[in-house]
């Protein structure tokens, strides 16, 4: 029975190592900046809630910008999109073009997206966005949207 505590300790060490490996600790291939330690913990918590390891690996492979956008910024985007007349459930913080999401720093993620109008079915509007984060807490300070895909978001 002494083997059980040893096995438990070994598994916890593996789990901790697995959590730390979930979020890249360096810039990824697209030149994205690194999330802060708190942002990494928030993303890791979301990823660890995905029970299927294959699904978790596929989501992790989406890259730093996608992970930050999805797990840190998306909820803050919803009320802004709704104020612009968009559907609360039909908006995307990316488009089909390359580099539609960019991590400028741990405090700023920018991108292009589109939303479906709530009152006008089948009408999509392109926009650019900026998600301003507090790297210490991982919380969104402000989420800005400008309509028109080629308009850069605010500073």
Extents of the domains making up the chain: 31-147
Residue 38's pLDDT is what?
A: 97
Torsion of CA 131, 137, 141, 147, to 10 degrees: 10
Identify which of 30, 96, 97 has the alpha carbon closest to the alpha carbon of residue 68.
30
| Local confidence band at 149 (pLDDT 50, 70, 90 cut-offs) | low
Residue 2 neighbours by CB under 8 Å, 6+ apart? none
**pLDDT-wise least confident of 48-57, 120-129, 132-141:** 120-129
Share of the chain above pLDDT 90, in %: 63
Average pLDDT of the chain to the nearest whole number:
81
pTM of the model: 0.75
Residue 88's pLDDT is what?
A: 85
| Local confidence band at 87 (pLDDT 50, 70, 90 cut-offs) | confident
Task: Kindly state the average pLDDT of the residues 108-119.
Answer: 93
Which of 28-32, 108-112, 150-154 reaches the highest mean pLDDT?
A: 108-112
For 37-80, what is each residue's pLDDT tens digit? 999 999 999 999 999 999 999 999 999 999 999 999 999 999 99
For 3-33, what is each residue's pLDDT tens digit? 333 333 333 333 334 444 444 443 444 455 8
Place of tokens 């996608």: 66
Chain CA centroid to CA 50, Å = 15
């Amino acid at each position: 029975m002494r083997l059980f505590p040893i096995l438990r300790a070994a598994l916890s060490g593996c789990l901790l190592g697995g959590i730390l490996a979930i979020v890249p600790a360096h810039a990824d291939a697209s030149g994205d900046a690194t999330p802060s330690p708190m942002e990494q913990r928030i993303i890791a918590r979301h990823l660890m809630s995905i029970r299927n390891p294959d699904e978790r690996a596929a989501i992790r492979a989406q890259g730093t910008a996608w992970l930050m956008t999805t797990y840190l910024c998306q909820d803050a985007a919803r009320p802004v999109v709704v104020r612009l007349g968009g559907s609360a459930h039909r908006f995307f913080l990316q488009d089909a073009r390359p580099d539609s999401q960019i991590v400028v720093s741990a405090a700023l993620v920018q991108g292009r997206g589109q939303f479906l109008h709530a009152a006008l079915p089948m009408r999509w509007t392109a926009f650019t966005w900026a998600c301003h984060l507090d790297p210490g807490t991982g919380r969104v300070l402000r989420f800005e949207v400008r309509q028109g895909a080629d308009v850069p978001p605010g500073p």
